[in-house]
Amino acid sequence: MSAAESGATRGLKRTAHAHRDPLDTVVAHQIGALLTPVEGRHGSHLAGSRWSLSRHGNGRESSTPEGESRRPEQGRRSYLRSVTFTTRSFRAPLWALKPHAQTLAGKFLRPRLSLPLRRERWETPDADILLLDFADEGLEEAPLVLLLHGLEGSALRPYALLSYRALRREGLAAVGLNFRSCGGEPNRLARSYHSGETGDPRWVLERLRQRWPERRLGALGFSLGGNVLLNLLAEQGAAGAEFVQAAAVVSVPFDLSASADALERGPLVRAYTRYFLRSLIAKVEAKQDLLGAEKVERIRRARTMREFDDRATAPIHGFRDAAHYYASCSSARCLDRVRAPTLVIQSLDDPFLPQAALPEAALRRNPALVPLLTERGGHVGFVHGPAWAPRFFAEEEAARFLAAALLDPLHQPLHARAQQQGKHSDSADDHGNRAEELERG
């Protein structure tokens, strides 16, 4: 079954929602406290580490901290080349030191860029639909990066658009997968997506490989999408480095149970929960004919993410209950099986994941993983620079890593090669003009 393109959208730009976001009210009451500086270090943990991305003769890759040696696995040919990647330090600015300040600044200050995008509508093997947004104009033969978005997001969220731009500047094409029921069009089936749903991204990557057999493929996942991506790479095991040649993940909820608990601690974090539940429950209500009125009414009464997962996510997707879903789909349990070189950008103060639940030992133990753990950054925040001209570290660093792993150095843009040599610039001119609109949804 070929992927049918339903139409092209050029210069795509979506405006802010007309309704008032409940988080706006929270921000109005909390902003003074959030922007109050606190004492302490706000640098980066493990940033500045140098990693060697070794490309094998059979196309597979591995990553190793510089100074350590790795012998090729038995049966593999010698390395063709090595690319050294140096992680950069992230420093939270004084105006956004606290975790919620970073999280909300990331949400409200990321611009909604106008980019040349085209959308394709794919029919799935189970008679449902998937929407894919391609950012590949002029890069039809470049390596292609699949982006997976977060909970109740889409492939057109500001962090996705910023990622497409950052990837383009490194010479990489991108395509964003809208999970089922996301992207502005409801899906047909009762099922949708969840933190361990790897079937759709696997099928998409397989179709992309069939369509462009000569292109190298990468992947980039944010939040829930990062958890999905790590699960997928672990399922692929040793074949993962051929399936996806390099990956990056940002703000991953490695332990879903701990994350669900974290979303109930404190009034501001509970506001995030209400924000997610409003969208999730609305989608369930729209499927009453498929789910039944009694089930929908029970789901409608959910007040926590755990209650929603227990009443909706788990039974709809074949799990016994929320506990079974969390235990089966938390990526912390399978990090040791990831074989594709993967950059992990994670803040120790992520309000969606307690630091005690961060699998730091497992991240360090697997030589395929490149952990970039920062003391600050919130959840998909990583905002730095002045408040009037903020920059967004996660998208920049992920694109830089993927370019180092996917591109032949002789064909990289000049600025990308300079960055790999540590000659990057912090000037605003290097990152282009920002669009006027800010995300409000």
Name the catalytic one among 44, 154, 223, 347.
Answer: 223
Burial of 185 (0-12, 13-18, 19+ CB in 10 A): middle
CA gap 105, 97 in Å, rounded? 11
Name the catalytic one among 42, 317, 379, 431.
Answer: 379
CA nearest 91: which of 396, 349, 431, 393? Answer: 393
**89-103 burial code (b ≥16 CB/10 A, e <16):** ebbbbebbbbbbbbb
Helix runs in 311-437, H state only = 314-316, 322-329, 360-365, 393-406, 414-420
Name the catalytic one among 192, 331, 350, 431.
Answer: 350
CB 322 within 8 A of CB 313: yes
427 a catalytic residue: no
Residue with tokens 């660093």: 397
CA gap 50, 115 in Å, rounded? 33
**246-266 burial code (b ≥16 CB/10 A, e <16):** bbbbbbbbbbbbbbbebbeee
CB 284 within 8 A of CB 354: no
350 a catalytic residue: yes
Strands annotated E in 57-114: 61-65, 79-86
324 a catalytic residue: no
**122-143 burial code (b ≥16 CB/10 A, e <16):** bebeeebbbbbbbbbeebeebb
CA nearest 344: which of 364, 324, 320, 314? Answer: 364
**Could you tell me the two tokens for 278?**
């409003």
CB 183 within 8 A of CB 279: no
**Could you tell me the two tokens for 85?**
């990647």
For the chain, what is the largest distance between any 2 Cα atoms, rounded to a whole number of angstroms?
Answer: 61
The residue type found at 161 is: L
**Could you tell me the two tokens for 134?**
């391609």
CA nearest 145: which of 342, 365, 366? Answer: 342
Residues classed as catalytic: 223, 350, 379
